Amino acid sequence: MKTLQISAAPQWNALFEDDGEAAIVPLAAWAIVEGKTGNEITGLIVAEQCGQVLERADGADNFVGYIHDSERELAPSRLKELGLSKG
């Protein structure tokens, strides 16, 4: 992945499904990267297992989408709509 540009991502998060529950991880930045079919915008998170390394949020198998801080309370219903929730 070649990164073309990085920009701050205040108040934006990546939403993951973790055993039927919503897991919200703050984005470190937005990035424009070269993709297979052109440029893509993706959110970057700090990889916990690697210390201070940034990785694409959408590269995780349990990635659901991006969510703004103002929508945090909607995360559980978003998982339910997608059939990923236990409840």
pLDDT at 55 over 80: yes
pLDDT tens sequence across 71-87: 888 888 877 887 776 65
**How many CB atoms lie under 10 A from the CB of residue 15?**
21
What is the pTM (predicted TM-score) of this model?
0.82
pLDDT tens sequence across 37-51: 999 999 999 877 666
Share of the chain above pLDDT 90, in %: 56
Closest-CA residue to 18 (of 59, 57, 48, 63): 63
What is residue 67's predicted lDDT score, i.e. its pLDDT? 92
Closest-CA residue to 56 (of 71, 68, 66, 70): 66
For the chain, what are the domain ranges?
3-81
pLDDT at 1 over 80: no
Q: Give me the DSSP letters along 33-76.
A: EEETTEEEEEEEEE-GGGSS-EEEGGGSTTEEEEEEGGGGGGHH
